[in-house]
Each structure stands twice: as structure tokens, then as C-alpha cells.
């Protein structure tokens, strides 16, 4: 079956055109005629730079997001499925001739232009998927026969029926519950206008940026004289080598300019508007196609998140759902699922990533080795430990007892009450540090937080440790004074790092504050 789809016959004149396939003739000479008088086809639509850019961008971004197969361990855990046949065809090699990334890019080009994409599932004798083959969307269609859905594709001019279970079909917007609405057909007038504007500009500059007009010939001219004048005009004043020559008209002949020039026709504005139109057809922000946009984001990762949410997430979900329904057995569907890994699309710069990793480690979300894997680094010994967010001790059944240093520098285990006090102090200082680092990113908010004397944290202190003004002053007043000094001597762009150092130093006073609380009791 694989060779049947990959071994299509081609003509000697054009290897991409099957002379026995009537749909190939329609593709070469068909299309929809726009109101602007330009024929729009799926192929010449790609000659529009914004259409090419949009299709290339979206198809490339989706193709490079790995499609992983997972197995559910329990309600909260999962793991990558190893050894399942469906995993290899979607993740590594889709068939003997095409890798997965190339397959998915072709699949998405079809999805974006035809609003339909089809892929035949090649199976072995046990019914397991061993290959995925792209089917051309202009000669593949769904139909119902005897109440059953099936697909028909034209191979070498012959309609070939396929079982619905053997075809992956992803569609865009649909009105007939069968296939997606062809995008190029619906965008004919919009893209036809863009092609007409591009053609106008090409002709305008091909004629030396000179407008066309009417050559008026006096009535006493004979036909021969008129023909000679017309032929001489074309010979002397048309063509690249004759641009900007001065025209000389004799015996009453006149030239009348009747063409609207590029400025009056708002040619530049029209072409920019058409870029925005293309962006709308693909649900893209105009900034993605090189135009300024009213929507702005604070970082590249936020921009990519908006792009993921509004443009490509629906395609990712449709692909994952179809693969789950068509590539897995009934039993596997109960325990397995497909999901795209979009971390590469949302990858932040190094500084931002380190800040996120630091928070994740402090809160026990990730282990050191998990963070290292995010950066494509090998694991290290002892790196599989998770930390609790407040006291930075390992969690789980094998977590060691919390040691504290005694007066002579040794260590011993503390009592449960002493451990709870130290734990609560560390939690308080950690919360202050986390809130302070967040506020320091915006100087105005940070000033208000410091000027307010860290009021919310003071309430937490009193609720936990009771009314203890002396220790409360040690915790808050000294910190507020130091932060106020930093505000007075630090530039806005340096505030975050300076405040972070002060807060970090303050967090290290947990043992001292704990001792003061014990003595005050």
C-alpha cells in the first residue's frame, strides 16, 4: 500500500503533473476568479509574501513541536510510552521516505491552504501503524456510502476508497460536517486584490514608473501614417532602455495620461492593508507578519504564549485527538494519550529561565536533575531530591531529621516544639523575601510595600508568635530601614538585584530570630 501512494506516475514534461489525473489539470489551469479579475489558486496564493510567511511560520512551528505518546500511571502521574508502534511514526519517521517533522509540515501546509489535511495510515499484518503518508487534499474527500463514512483519494487518475479508520483527517472551519471550508476559495476576493495590486506595481515599475495613456492622432492621418506613428511610439518610448526619454509629437498628435498613478491609487496603503487581511485569515497578530500592532507584550515568551493560544493550539489539539482515535487500539485508548511538547516555543531567555527554575526548586516543584534536563544537561548524583518550600529540607518518607548547630558548632536534633518555631520563622522570612522580589520588579509597587511597613507580614507575625514588639522590630524595622536606604541610593534598573541581596541576607537570620523568640518567652 505504501508504494501505491508514493509511486504515482508523472509526465516527462513536468514530473509533478500526472497527465492521467483530471484533478491535476484543474490544479494547473483552474482556480477561482476574483472580483479584481485575477485567478486565485492554492499555488499562486503562495506567491503573496504574507501568505507564504504565514503558512511557513505556522506549519514550521507546529512541525517542530514534538508529539509525544504518554501512558497514565494513575490519576496524577504519567510517563512516556516506550515501544508503542504509534509513537515512532508521529515522533521520528513517518514512513520510509519522510521524517516526522517533514510529514507534519506538509500536513499543516495542506491544513492551512485547503483547510483540510489527510494522511493514510499504513499498517502491518497485526493492524499496527507502521507509516503515515500525506494525501493530496485537492484530490481526497470524505463521503458516506450506506451510512458509513469513508475517504476517497485519486491515485493515477483512479478513485481509491479508504476506510475512515485508516485516514487521519484534520479540518478547519466546516459547514457540512464532512470537510473544512476551502480557505483559498473563501479568500479569493481578498487575495485576488492583493495579487492585482502586486501585478499593478510590477507593471508600473516595468514601464519606468510612467503611467500609460492615449495617443491621439489627428483625423487627417491616413491609416498607414497612423500605424507608423503607433509603431514608432512603441519602438522609441517603450521598454527598459527607453525609460524617461522625452516624447516629441508632430503634426497635431497628442498624448493624454489616463492612468491613476501609484500615489493616487494608494498602492502602498493597499498592500499594507492586504498584509493585515492575510493575518486575519490565519488568525495571526499583524506583528507576526512584520507590521506594527496595537497589542504589545512585555517579553517574547508572552508574545509566543498569545500566539500559541490564539493561532496554533487548536491545530495541536486536533492532531493529537485524531492520532489518539486512529493510531491507538481500543485498549490503548484507555491508558494512553498524545500531547505536544510546546516548551521550545515558550522558551524564555537565560535570565528569566533561571528565575523560574529558582522558584521551582524552592517550592519543591522540580528537582535539580529535572531542571538540568530542561537545559539538556546530564543528571548529577544526588540531584533527584525535592525540597519543601519553607525549610528547604528534603521531603518524603526518607527525609532526614532537621539538624541545627549548637553553641560549640556541632549539630544535634531539636525537639518538636523548637523545630516548629524555626519552621514558622523560616516560612515567614521566605514569604517576605518572595513578595519583596516580586514587588521589586516594579519600583512604584515596591515603594508602597516598604512605606507600608510590610503590614500584611506583620499581621502574620502577630498571628503566629503573638504580641512581641521587640522581636517584631528585629524582623521588620531593620529590614524596612535597609530597604529604604536602598531606594534612596539605587537606580530603578538596579533595584531588583539590590533588593534581592538584602532580602536574601534577611532570610538567613532565621536561627537568630528563633533564638530571640525563645528568650522573650
pTM over 0.75: no
Q: Indicate whether 36 pLDDT > 60.
A: yes
Cα 490 to Cα 103: distance, rounded to the nearest angstrom: 55
317 has a pLDDT exceeding 90: yes
175 & 35 share domain: yes
Q: Which domain holds residue 465?
A: 388-520
Q: Which residues contact 196 (CB under 8 A, 6 or more apart)?
A: 34, 36, 37, 38
pLDDT grade, residue 94 (50/70/90)? very high
Q: Are residues 205 and 332 in the same domain?
A: yes
Across the range 369-374, mean pLDDT stands at 82
- d(CA 358, CA 387) in angstroms, rounded, equals 12
Please give the C-alpha separations between residue 355 and each of 30, 162, 386, 437, in angstroms, as whole numbers.
56, 52, 17, 11
Q: Establish if 452 belongs to a structural domain.
A: yes
Q: How many CB atoms lie within 10 A of CB 156?
A: 13
Considering the domain architecture, whether residues 181 and 270 belong to the same structural domain is answered as: yes
- pLDDT of the residue at 412: 38
In a domain, 299, yes or no: yes
What is the number of structural domains in the chain? 3
Task: Tell me, yes or no, whether 375 lies in a domain.
Answer: no
> Given pLDDT bands bounded at 50, 70 and 90, which one contains residue 13?
very low
d(CA 2, CA 133): 8
Report residue 489's pLDDT band, with 50, 70 and 90 as the boundaries. Answer: confident
* Residues 107-114, mean pLDDT to the nearest whole number: 95
How far from the centroid of its chain's Cα atoms is residue 384's Cα?
A: 31
Q: Is the pLDDT of residue 267 over 60?
A: no
Residue 431: inside a domain: yes
Note whether 331 and 408 are same-domain residues.
no
The Cα 453–Cα 476 span in angstroms is 7
Confidence of residue 348 (pLDDT cuts 50, 70, 90): low
Domain-ending residue, one of 347, 378, 413: 347
Confidence of residue 370 (pLDDT cuts 50, 70, 90): confident
Same domain, 106 and 187: yes
* Span between the terminal Cα atoms of the chain, in Å: 84
User: Is 303 in the same domain as 445?
Assistant: no
Residue 361 lies in a domain: no
pLDDT digits (tens, 9 = 90+) for 212-235: 566 677 776 777 777 776 777 666
DSSP reduced 3-state for 448: helix
Report pLDDT digits (tens) over 228-255: 767 776 666 565 555 555 566 666 666 6
Q: For residue 40, give the DSSP letter.
A: E
pLDDT at 161: 94
Cα 111–Cα 112–Cα 118 angle in degrees, nearest 5? 10
Give pLDDT tens digits for 148-174: 999 999 988 899 999 999 999 999 999
Q: How much of the chain exceeds pLDDT 70, in percent? A: 72
pLDDT given at position 403: 41
Indicate if 158 and 276 belong to the same structural domain: yes
Cell of 157: 487518475
The answer for residues whose C-beta is within 8 angstroms of residue 110's C-beta and 6 or more apart is: 116, 117, 118, 134, 136, 137
Same domain for 241 and 277? no
Do 302 and 434 lie in a common domain?
Answer: no
Q: Is the pLDDT of residue 6 over 80?
A: no
- 84 versus 257: the higher-pLDDT residue is 84
Residues 489 and 448 in one domain: yes
Q: CA 410 from chain center: how many Å?
A: 55
More confident site: 286 or 403: 286
- Asked if the structure places residue 374 within a domain, the reply is no
For the ranges 117-126, 401-410, 464-473, which has the lowest average pLDDT?
401-410
The answer on 331 and 237 residing in a single domain is no
Check whether residue 204 and residue 219 sit in a common domain. no
Over range 273-282, report the average pLDDT.
88
In a domain, 362, yes or no: no
pLDDT of residue 346: 75
Pairing between β-strand 148-155 and β-strand 67-72 as defined by DSSP bridges: unpaired
> Is the distance from CB of 194 to CB of 48 less than 8 angstroms?
yes
- Give start and end residues of each alpha helix (H) in 207-312: 223-237, 267-281, 300-307
**In a domain? residue 379:** no
312: DSSP letter = I
Amino acid at each position: 500500500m505504501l508504494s501505491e501512494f508514493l509511486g504515482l506516475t508523472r509526465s516527462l514534461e513536468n514530473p509533478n503533473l500526472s497527465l492521467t489525473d483530471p484533478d491535476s489539470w484543474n490544479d494547473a489551469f483552474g482556480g477561482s476568479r476574483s472580483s479584481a479579475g485575477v485567478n486565485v489558486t492554492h499555488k499562486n496564493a503562495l506567491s503573496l509574501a504574507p501568505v507564504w510567511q504565514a503558512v511557513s511560520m505556522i506549519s514550521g512551528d507546529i512541525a517542530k513541536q514534538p508529539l509525544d505518546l504518554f501512558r497514565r500511571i494513575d490519576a496524577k502521574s504519567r510517563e512516556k510510552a516506550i515501544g508503542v508502534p504509534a509513537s515512532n511514526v508521529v515522533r521520528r519517521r513517518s514512513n520510509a521516505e519522510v521524517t516526522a517533522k517533514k510529514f507534519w509540515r506538509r500536513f499543516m501546509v495542506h491544513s492551512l491552504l485547503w483547510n483540510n489535511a489527510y494522511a493514510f495510515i499504513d499498517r502491518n499484518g497485526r493492524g499496527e501503524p507502521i507509516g503515515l503518508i500525506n494525501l493530496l487534499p485537492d484530490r481526497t474527500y470524505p463521503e458516506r456510502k450506506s451510512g458509513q463514512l469513508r475517504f476517497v483519494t485519486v491515485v493515477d487518475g483512479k478513485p481509491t476508497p479508504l476506510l475512515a479508520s485508516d485516514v487521519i483527517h484534520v479540518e478547519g472551519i466546516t459547514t457540512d460536517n464532512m470537510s473544512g471550508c476551502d480557505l483559498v476559495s473563501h479568500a479569493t476576493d481578498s487575495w485576488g486584490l492583493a495579487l492585482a495590486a502586486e501585478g499593478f506595481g510590477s507593471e508600473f515599475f516595468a514601464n519606468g514608473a510612467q503611467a500609460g495613456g492615449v495617443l491621439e492622432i489627428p483625423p487627417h492621418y491616413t491609416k498607414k501614417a497612423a500605424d507608423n506613428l503607433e509603431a514608432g511610439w512603441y519602438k522609441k518610448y517603450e521598454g527598459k532602455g527607453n525609460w524617461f526619454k522625452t516624447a516629441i509629437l508632430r503634426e497635431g498628435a497628442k498624448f493624454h495620461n489616463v492612468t491613476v498613478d501609484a500615489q493616487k491609487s494608494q498602492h502602498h496603503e493597499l498592500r499594507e492593508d492586504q498584509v493585515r487581511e492575510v493575518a486575519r485569515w490565519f488568525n495571526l497578530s499583524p506583528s507576526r507578519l512584520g507590521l506594527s500592532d496595537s497589542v504589545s507584550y512585555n517579553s517574547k515568551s508572552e508574545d509566543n504564549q498569545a500566539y500559541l493560544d490564539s493561532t496554533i493550539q487548536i491545530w495541536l489539539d486536533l492532531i493529537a485527538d485524531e492520532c489518539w482515535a486512529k493510531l491507538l487500539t481500543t485498549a490503548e485508548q484507555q491508558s494512553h494519550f498524545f500531547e505536544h511538547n510546546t516548551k521550545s516555543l515558550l522558551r524564555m531567555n537565560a535570565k528569566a529561565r533561571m528565575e523560574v527554575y529558582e522558584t521551582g526548586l524552592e517550592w519543591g516543584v522540580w528537582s535539580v536533575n529535572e531542571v538540568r534536563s530542561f537545559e539538556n544537561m546530564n543528571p548529577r548524583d544526588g540531584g533527584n531530591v525535592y525540597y519543601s518550600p519553607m525549610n528547604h529540607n528534603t521531603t518524603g518518607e526518607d527525609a532526614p531529621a532537621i539538624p541545627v548547630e549548637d553553641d560549640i558548632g556541632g549539630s544535634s536534633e531539636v525537639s518538636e516544639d523548637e523545630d516548629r518555631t524555626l519552621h514558622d520563622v523560616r516560612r515567614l522570612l521566605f514569604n517576605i523575601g518572595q513578595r519583596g522580589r516580586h514587588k521589586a520588579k516594579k519600583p512604584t509597587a515596591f515603594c508602597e510595600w516598604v512605606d507600608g511597613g510590610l503590614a500584611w507580614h506583620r499581621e502574620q507575625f502577630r498571628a503566629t508568635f503573638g504580641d512581641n514588639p521587640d522581636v517584631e522590630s528585629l524582623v521588620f524595622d531593620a529590614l524596612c530601614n535597609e530597604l529604604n536606604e536602598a531606594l534612596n541610593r539605587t537606580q530603578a534598573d538596579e533595584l531588583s538585584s539590590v533588593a534581592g541581596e538584602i532580602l536574601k541576607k534577611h532570610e538567613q537570620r532565621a536561627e537568630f530570630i528563633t533564638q530571640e523568640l525563645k528568650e522573650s518567652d
